[in-house]
Chain A
Amino acid sequence: MTMICVKNLTKKYGNFTAVDDISFDVKKGEIFGFLGPNGAGKTSTINMMIGLLKPNSGKITINEIDVIKQAKKAQEIMGIVADESNLYNEMDGFANLCFCGALYGMGKKERESKARELLKLFRLQDAGNRPFKAYSKGMKRKLTIAAALIHSPEMLFLDEPTTGIDVESSRQIRELILQLKNQGTTIFITTHYIEEAERLCDRIAFIVQGKIVASGTVFQLMNNVSHSHNINLITNKDVQDYTTALQKRFKEITVTVKKPDELVIKTAKRIPLLPILKFLHEKDIEVYEAKEIHPSLEDVFVKLTGIETSVLQKEKGGF
């Protein structure tokens, strides 16, 4: 089942193309992530998907509702968390949540009980009657997410939910996102943290300069990139003198010495290990540990986008 279908979406600001003819689908119940550096076009895309920004061309449907033509109808099932915590400074946490419930037409009793439930879920009970402006950054972020959930949306949009906030709040937010997915909510998230994307998302799209460079599950993305298989072997003694013999016996591998008692075996395809272990055993060398080293998503990202991860980590307006 498809929740979101985006086709040939383009957004231009003047002559500058911020989102360049992108297409993708999001399945019901999955977490779909947009991973890309600042200025890649993540916010522009999300703003078009929620009906805040008009695209120059392309189609967006959410739950089969055309967002461009029937934005209001589509917005009923959306929960939206903007890239900034944008609640009302003068109002306390509880009043903020209740107000957001009212915007979706919820009755007084219903929105008040849901607001209390959410304050508890986000561990903000004690802050419920403090004004929003007195909240820390992490608390503001949490309340902003809570506000997006007040009307129990089927589809949640999160624009960089953990950027610039404390580690503990980030952890809580990620936990809650997974909890929501388990309850059946479909989630679209943007981030510039590789680890966050890897931990949360069922599928990820790499976005760079307005284009989707690659997309798929973490597994698919890894396999997308041709990479060698590396196996790390830890032995009981110095093996440096035997590497040449090993290399000669097994033509398909490349052997490198990492430490005197640690070897890395590189192969184009996966190979059985037993012959190698046997060969070493005959030379009186015992292997204690053999471990395949997988490339990280970070390696894949760098390879596919040509962007160094240091660039990715740069915060907006940062150094």
Chain B
Amino acid sequence: MKSLIAFYNILKKDITNYYLKPPNISWGIIFPLSWTMMQLLRSVDSSILELLPGLISTSVLFGTTSMLAVTITFERSGRSFERLLLAPISLNTLMLAKITGTILFGMFNAFVPIIFAGFFINLSDINWIIVILAVFLIAVTSSLMGLLIAVSAQQVFEAQTISNFFRFPMLFLCGLFIPISSLPVFLKPLSYCLPLTYGADILKGAITSNNSFSYTLCFVMLLIFTVGLFTVSKYAIEKKQNQ
């Protein structure tokens, strides 16, 4: 019960202090929107439907990692993050509370291109349950990557730079824009080590039935990444306390 009160209030504070602040709200809408428009204008020949998995993944990836760089790195530099570490709640509860806000924000980001696409094309053939599950797991894994970066970086700027170092290569290796089969051989193993590869593949399957792996494999891989990243992030936070 006590942990639940703490969890809920940390989440509520993050949402009101950060996520609902005008600059972040507009970033959450404008970034996916402009990315969507850019892609639509650039590739007139491909259908909106084919672009949708990439747009959704990009929006979630950028939304989540950017926000954690702010909500954690910012609080760490102002030292209010110490309060959370010193509260009588487990590190698991604290990490869950911190990433839940980001996951919700990421999912909100994902629906910007979907709603936008809904104005132009018929989306009724899409398997929504699978899409929502995939969006959720992409948001979870990206948030955890963001968490790992945020606890390792010292400043917001540094966190953003490190994020970009990972985000852009990831987008091009995950099979969304360049099929994995046409990547150079030495890059292929790298693709299979990215959670986004599996998330994007599920989205492709649910939206255009054009997936390379089975849903089961992808979901299992995403769950493995979730547990793995959570453990590594937790270890990173604990290690900081030993300096």
B-contacting residues of A (Cβ < 8 Å)?
13, 50-54, 72-73, 75-76, 78, 80, 82, 84, 86-91, 99-100, 102-107
Contacts and interface: CB of A to CB of B under 8 A. Distances in A.
A52 B241 contact: yes
29 contacts: A13-B243, A50-B86, A51-B86, A52-B82, A52-B241, A53-B241, A53-B243, A54-B242, A72-B88, A73-B88, A75-B88, A76-B88, A80-B86, A86-B78, A86-B80, A86-B82, A86-B83, A88-B17, A88-B80, A89-B78, A90-B17, A99-B9, A99-B13, A102-B5, A102-B9, A103-B87, A103-B89, A104-B88, A107-B5
A102 B2 CA distance: 8
Contact of A105 (B2, B84, B242): B2
Contacts of A87: 80
Contacts of A52: 82, 85-86, 241
A78 B84 CA distance: 14
A73 B90 CA distance: 10
Contact of B87 (A82, A91, A104): A104
B3 interface: yes
A153 to B, nearest CB: 11
B6 interface: yes
B13 A91 contact: yes
A103 B7 CA distance: 8
Contact of B83 (A53, A73, A89, A100): A100
Interface of B: 1-3, 5-6, 8-10, 13, 17, 78-80, 82-90, 241-243
B17 A103 contact: no
A72 B9 contact: no
A13 to B, nearest CB: 6
A105 B241 contact: no
A89 B80 CA distance: 9
Nearest to B9: A102
Contacts of B87: 75, 103-104
Contact of B13 (A50, A80, A84, A88): A88
Contacts of B90: 72
A72 B17 contact: no
Nearest to A76: B88
A51 B3 CA distance: 19
Given A80-B86, A86-B83, A105 B13 contact: no
Nearest to A72: B88
- List the 9 shortest-distance A-B pairs measured between CB atoms, nearest first: A105-B2, A102-B9, A103-B87, A86-B79, A76-B88, A75-B88, A54-B242, A86-B80, A90-B17
Nearest to B243: A13
B78 A105 contact: no
Nearest to B3: A105
A78 B9 CA distance: 20
B86 A54 contact: no
Nearest to B81: A86
B86 A75 contact: yes
Given A88-B17, A88-B80, A106-B5, 4 more contacts: A73-B88, A82-B79, A86-B80, A105-B5
A99 B9 CA distance: 7
A73 B87 CA distance: 10
B127 to A, nearest CB: 40
Contacts of A80: 86
